[in-house]
Every structure is written in structure tokens, then in C-alpha cells.
A and B are shown apart, each in its own frame.
Chain A
Amino acid sequence: MRLLFREALLSFRRAPVLSGLSITTIAFSLFTIGLFGLVAINLQQALQGLEERVEVVAFIMRGTPAETIAQASEDIASFPEVQAVNYVTEEQALARARRELVEFRDAYRDLQVNPLPPSLELRLKPGYRDAAHVGDVAERLKGFSFIEDVRYGRDWIQRLDHLRNLTGILGLVIGLVFAAVAMVIIGVTIRLTLLQRAREIHIMRLVGATNWFIRGPFLLEGALKGLLGGLLAVALCYGGYLLFRQNTASFNGIIFFQPFQAATIVGFGVLMGFAGSLLSVGRHLRHMGGRADRRAA
């Protein structure tokens, strides 16, 4: 075990430039993924803020008895999608209109009759705030005989849905592309190390080292480079986050990764480093065996 670590660390000392280069490339690949991740989690956060405002309003026919409304409110509140039901009387609706619609204040003040109907305002639980669920709830509300009309800003909810899906897909695609690029880079740098150490590997094989023994230090080296690259990437992301926050006062609400998200980036680096080395070393060792056969020809 000690030898494994020593051999893996020795390669950093023997080829500092190459090692530095591979760590930097890994870091930049993960940094790009990280930046995208930051945008994604902030967008997600913003979407959550918007979604919380998703509301379904059911207008009630005038003259509906209060008991009927109270009974229906309880039924509606027990819908699986519904978080809260708020009954707004005609008077409350008018008071709110006078308060919020300042430019029409005079018009509302001079009214002889209240033109605003009473309504039930519904807020949906998180996870049910997409177009499909909202539409579904609206349909069920229309089933109540005393409900005249249901409003829920269909277009707005659909646009929100599209934006969220697009963010998710774009994040996944870009993330995967960068992951593939980073893995190829790790594989190439490990391959360069392998070529640099071909003589050593040849001697290891000659004196009877097993293939796993030869692979071990390279796999550890790849994983360590991934670890360092991942840590560097998180540090760079944090630097970028601070810089962005300092320079844009209007985006004060932006957030950084949770510890487990940062750990995921680092873990992803380790995994990529390990996988990149495994592919590269496996191919190289097979190639060395085959080459010995051809070289003698």
C-alpha cells in the first residue's frame, strides 16, 4: 500500500509539468461543468420563487351560500395537489383592488355595486406547479356547480415549464460533453506518463509484477489528479461566484453549491481520473504485449 502511494506520488515529482497540466485541464473541465451547475442551481432557485407564485383562482357565483363554499373549500383543500385554499369575499376583493390598483382607485371608490365576484384562491404544493397539474386542478374545480370561471395563466405556466425543461436538458448535454472531454484528457495525460515510464513498466513485467500491481499506481495517480482537479475547480467556481456577486449588486440573491454538491464535483473528478486511467492503462498494457510480438518480427 505504501509502495502504491509512493509510486503514484513519485510520478508527480518526476513529471511536475505534465502532472500540473493534467490537473489544470481536469480543473478547467470541471470548472466549466461547475459554472454551468451554478447557473443551473440559481435558475432552479429563481424558478422555485416563480413557481411559488403559481395560483389558481376560481370565481364563485354570487349568492352561493357560505356553507356550500366552506364545505367545498374543505373538499378542495384535500386535493393531493393543493397546498392552501383561501376564500376571498366580494368585500375583500374590492378592498384589495382599491389597494393594489392605484390608477383605478377613483373608479372603485365611486362604485354603487361591487363588480368583483367572491373567489377561492388555490396554492399548489411544490412538484404540482406545472402546466399539466394546474390544468387538471382547474378542470376539477369547474366541476363544482357554483364555480363560474377558473383562471390560472395557462401560457405563463407553460413557458415556465419549457424553460425548466430546457435548462435541465441543456445542463445534461453540456455536462456530458465536458465530462467526455475531461475523461479523454485524463486518458491522454496518463498515456503520456505511461509512455514516459514505458521502460519502468517493461522492467516491472520482466521481474514478475502482476498487471494489477502495475496498474495500481497509475489508477491512484489518475484518481489523485481528479481529486486535485476537482478541488481546484470548486475553488475556481467559488472565486467566480464571489467575483460575480461583488460586481452585480442586483444579483445579491445568487447562491453557491451546498457542501454535498461541491463534494459531488470533486467526486466526479476522482471518478473521471480513475476511469480515464483505467481505460488508458488497460489499453497500453495490452498494446505492450502485442508490440513485443510484432517488434521481434
Chain B
Amino acid sequence: MIRLSHVNKSYPNGAVALKDVSFHVARGEFVFLTGHSGAGKSTLLKLLYAEQRPTSGEVRVSGHVVSALRGDAVARLRRRLGIIFQDFRLLEDRTAAENIAFALEVTGARRDTIAARASRVLAQVGLASKSRAYPRELSGGEQQRVALARALVNDPAILLADEPTGNLDERATRGVFQLLRDINAGGTVVVMATHDLDLIRQSTYRTVEMRDGSVVYDSAEEARAAGGR
């Protein structure tokens, strides 16, 4: 589903964000992307949803060479991805249901299907009763669930999560994480950047650790090596 081959990313000011990063994420996988701040996790995710382009190397998502996409092709790629962030990125002047409807409207969904689809995903994240609440009336965990519902409404093949629990307390973190597990169990690839070592320890998912722009550890590689021994 995702393949990075010798990807480098540097900026005009000389800063290097990624150094020769190569890895592959298979269909149905859940991958933790971990490492300190500035290790390159967010940059890597941005390359996946074409917010940035690699300086060299190739990024493939669902068979498309993302680095070569331009204009509306980028928009079409993003409709097949779900993306959530630490700061939720909801529109404050719209209700939970309207935030989700907005994502459908701007991608040209049929009007008569929008309300039903918004209700379905809100129910999926356990917020059916809060559809008319504005973001400021919701807790952090609930806001992240609305963002998650928005990410899921187009039935994405891949969900990219950039520190989705970074602003949440322990209980809300568990709730959101459980939702991500459920989504993954339904067949969606999940790539989650996180600092939260507890979450990583609690689960058996693949972990890719980054440091100074390079992949320094990949649990899948380790398992393969152990298997080959």
C-alpha cells in the first residue's frame, strides 16, 4: 500500500529532514512511527499525503507515485486517505455533523447522501448524540473522534495519524486508540506517528523508529531477521 524507496528530503535552507528512508507497509498493517521531535515523522507523513515532495527518491501510495502527482491528482489521492492531527483541525463555527458534511461537500459528494453518511461515521466513533455540538462544546477526546469520523467518511484505504493522542488525557487516548485499532481491524492501513511509548508497548503492532531523519529501527525487520536465524 505504501512504499518509500531511498527518500531524501532537504530544505532550501540546508536543513535535512529525511535521509535515505526506505520501507514498505503492506495491506492491512498498523504501523507506529516513533522517535523524538524533529526525527522526521511528520515530514514522512506529509510526503505520503503530498503536502510536501521528496528531494529525491520515490514515494508510492496505493500504486501512485505521489511525488509525481500534480494539481487535481493530489486532491483525488487525498480523497482516498484519511488524515488526523494532534490539534484536530476542526472548523470552530460548524457543528460536528457539519464538519463532516463539509468534507463530503467539498469533494463533490451527492447532496442527498451527505447527512446519512455523516451520521453513520459519527455513530461509528460513538458520537451519534453529539452531532449538533460545536467543537468548543466537546472534550479533546471527542473532538479527535469527530476528526476521525471526518477522516473515515470517504472510506479511506489508508489512515494517517500525526500524534493523534498528543493532546489527550489517558482515558481519551485509550478511547481514540481503540477506535484506530477497530478501523485497522476493518482492513484500513493505519500509520500513526506517536511519542507515546505506553501505547506502543500495549500492542504488538509494527514499530518504525526514526532518528535525525533516518529509520533506525523497524520491528518487522527484526522479526524477519529473528525468523531467518
Contacts of A293 in B (CB 8 A): 11, 52-53
Q: Looking at the assembled complex, report how far the CB atom of A158 sits from the nearest CB atom of chain B, in whole angstroms.
A: 59
Q: How far is the CA of A204 from the CA of B104 in the complex (A)?
A: 10
Give the number of A-B contacts (CB < 8 Å): 69
Does B89 count as interface, using CB distance less than 8 angstroms?
yes
Report which of A2, A202, A212, A292 forms a contact with B89, defined as CB distance below 8 A. Answer: A202
B interface footprint on A14-30 (CB within 8 Å = 1, 0 otherwise): 10000000000000000
Does B6 count as interface, using CB distance less than 8 angstroms?
no
Report which of B46, B49, B91 forms a contact with A296, defined as CB distance below 8 A. Answer: B46
Identify which of residues 279-297 in chain A touch chain B, using a CB-to-CB cut-off of 8 Å.
Answer: 292-294, 296-297
Given known pairs A208-B76, A213-B108, A296-B52, the reply for A203 and B15 (CB within 8 Å) is no
* Residue in B closest to A211 when the chains form the complex, CB atoms: B71
Does A181 count as interface, using CB distance less than 8 angstroms?
no
Contacts of B78 in A (CB 8 A): 205-208
Q: How far is the CA of A204 from the CA of B42 in the complex (A)?
A: 19
Report which of B11, B42, B102 forms a contact with A294, defined as CB distance below 8 A. Answer: B11
* Residue in B closest to A297 when the chains form the complex, CB atoms: B11
Q: How far is the CA of A202 from the CA of B85 in the complex (A)?
A: 13
Does B43 count as interface, using CB distance less than 8 angstroms?
yes
Identify which of residues 199-249 in chain A touch chain B, using a CB-to-CB cut-off of 8 Å.
Answer: 199-200, 202-214
Chain A, interface residues (CB within 8 Å), range: 20 to 34
A interface footprint on B70-104 (CB within 8 Å = 1, 0 otherwise): 01100111110101000001010100000000110
* Residue in B closest to A293 when the chains form the complex, CB atoms: B52
Q: Is there an interface contact between A207 and B107, defined as CB atoms closer than 8 Å?
A: yes
Q: How far is the CA of A210 from the CA of B150 in the complex (A)?
A: 17
Does A101 count as interface, using CB distance less than 8 angstroms?
no
Q: How far is the CA of A164 from the CA of B51 in the complex (A)?
A: 58
A interface footprint on B48-59 (CB within 8 Å = 1, 0 otherwise): 010111000000
Q: A206-B49, A207-B154 are in contact. List 20 more A-B contacts (CB 8 A).
A: A3-B106, A199-B89, A202-B89, A203-B89, A203-B102, A205-B75, A208-B77, A208-B78, A208-B79, A208-B81, A208-B154, A209-B75, A209-B106, A210-B71, A213-B75, A213-B106, A292-B46, A294-B12, A296-B42, A297-B15
**18 A-B pairs (CB sep. < 8 Å):** A203-B89, A205-B78, A206-B49, A206-B78, A206-B89, A207-B78, A207-B102, A207-B103, A208-B77, A209-B75, A209-B107, A211-B75, A292-B46, A294-B11, A296-B11, A296-B17, A297-B13, A297-B17
Complex A-B, nearest 7 residue pairs according to Cβ-Cβ distance, in ascending order: A297-B11, A208-B79, A208-B78, A209-B106, A207-B103, A210-B75, A208-B75
